[in-house]
Amino acid sequence: MKNLLNVKFIVSILLTVLVLMTTNSCKKDEEDDLPELPPMEALLMDFSDFENVPGDKKAVESYENFGYAVLNVAFWNLFAQVVVAVPCVAYAEAFHHEAVYLGDNSWKWSYSVTANQVTYSAELISKRISNEEFNLKMLVSQSGGFQDFKWFEGTVRYDHTAANWTLFQVPQNPVPVINITWVMDYETDLYTIKYTDVLADSEDYGSYIEHGVTDDTPFNAYYVISTTAGTIHIEWDKTTKAGHIKAPEFFENTNWQCWDLNFLDTVCE
């Protein structure tokens, strides 16, 4: 009988230890599974090098090549400001808040954010897909107004080397309006990001702008802009800002049209 009691006692201790180990393991897994949010650059394209046309307006013909590049980039910059910028403001706020574990490999950041003088209640929710990827979606609500409007949703790699997003139009018409793909190489600090118009009834459906930074010379940055009117290629140097543009429909040839570091038209080498 004494031996039997000793066995039961030992088994009881072992079970207790096993439960404690399992509990600690689960807590550790939860902490380890918290995904790191991808950077803002995974959503927001950089238009900073083409925001202004320099020079005297009287001499605008001297800046025609760069000016036409600015004009085409500006259209997409405006599109991004209308469709992408405000969701990005709401997303950026998540970095200032702690996530809560929901169970089943899912986390939620909850907070309020004000953008364009409108205050939203936001929920950013992640869900593990696999060892390589997780889903991330943002739901926003307004007091006395719409509830749980899915502003955007995307698939992100845990190592932040790629993301694919869909942004939705408005609560009254929650249809896909833009697709964003982003690829990042951290070893070389090179990347590409692409905006595609996916609004079904849009005249520009399928149009896109792709931006990237490369290790090419002499120009290490580019845009490719594709619309129903044709395709425009823009390349420039991120340091000097000199570059060139190829726009057959506008220049009526397939040659590169260049500008120098002062943005003045110049003969291409």
Report CA-CA distances (Å) from 96 to 37, 123, 165, 233, 257.
Answer: 11, 13, 22, 38, 45
Residue ranges of E strands in the chain = 100-103, 106-115, 118-128, 133-141, 149-157, 162-170, 173-185, 190-197, 208-213, 221-227, 230-236, 243-246, 257-259, 265-266
pLDDT at 16: 45
Q: What is the DSSP letter of 38?
A: P
Per-residue burial over 48-79, b if 16 or more Cβ lie within 10 Å, else e, is ebbeebeeeeeeeebbbbbbbbbebbeebbeb
pLDDT at 52: 74
The closest of 203, 207, 155 to 183, measured between CA atoms, is: 155
Q: How many CB atoms lie within 10 A of CB 210?
A: 16
**One-letter identity of residue 9:** F
Provide the whole-model pTM: 0.85
Contacts of 111 (CB under 8 A, 6+ apart): 93, 94, 96, 97, 121, 122
Q: Which residues of the chain have pLDDT under 70?
A: 1-32, 53-61
Helices 85-93 and 64-83 meet at what angle, rounded to 10? 60
Distance from C-alpha of 253 to C-alpha of 230, rounded to nearest angstrom:
13
